[in-house]
């Protein structure tokens, strides 16, 4: 089983890395981009076979380590 965790800054939190990427894209003359937000993706290979247990375990991982829940939000996708 695999878990894919996407972590991103919450709305309203300044994304300085996103601003730097936006500036670089502007300087390369890419048009039509109004904002850039940068996040991270974590892919976990799990030995768990129960999807509900896997979701519970990965949620705890996110809350304890993988995401700073004060400023970040996360989405989990479990793939059998």
Q: What does the pLDDT look like over 37-70, one tens digit per residue?
A: 999 999 999 999 999 999 999 999 999 999 999 9
H runs (alpha helix) in 1-80? 16-27, 51-61
Say which CATH topology domain 2-79 has.
Answer: Mth169; Chain: A , (3.30.1280)
Taking the model in full, what pTM does it have?
Answer: 0.91
Sign of CA dihedral 13, 37, 64, 76: positive
Confidence of residue 35 (pLDDT cuts 50, 70, 90): very high
């Amino acid at each position: 089983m695999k878990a894919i965790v996407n972590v991103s800054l919450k709305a309203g939190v300044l994304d300085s890395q996103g601003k730097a990427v936006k500036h670089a894209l502007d300087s390369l003359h890419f048009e039509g981009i109004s904002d850039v937000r940068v996040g991270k993706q974590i892919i976990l290979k799990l030995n768990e076979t129960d999807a509900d247990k896997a979701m519970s375990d990965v949620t705890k991982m996110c809350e304890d380590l993988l995401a700073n829940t004060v400023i970040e939000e996360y989405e989990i996708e479990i793939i059998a």
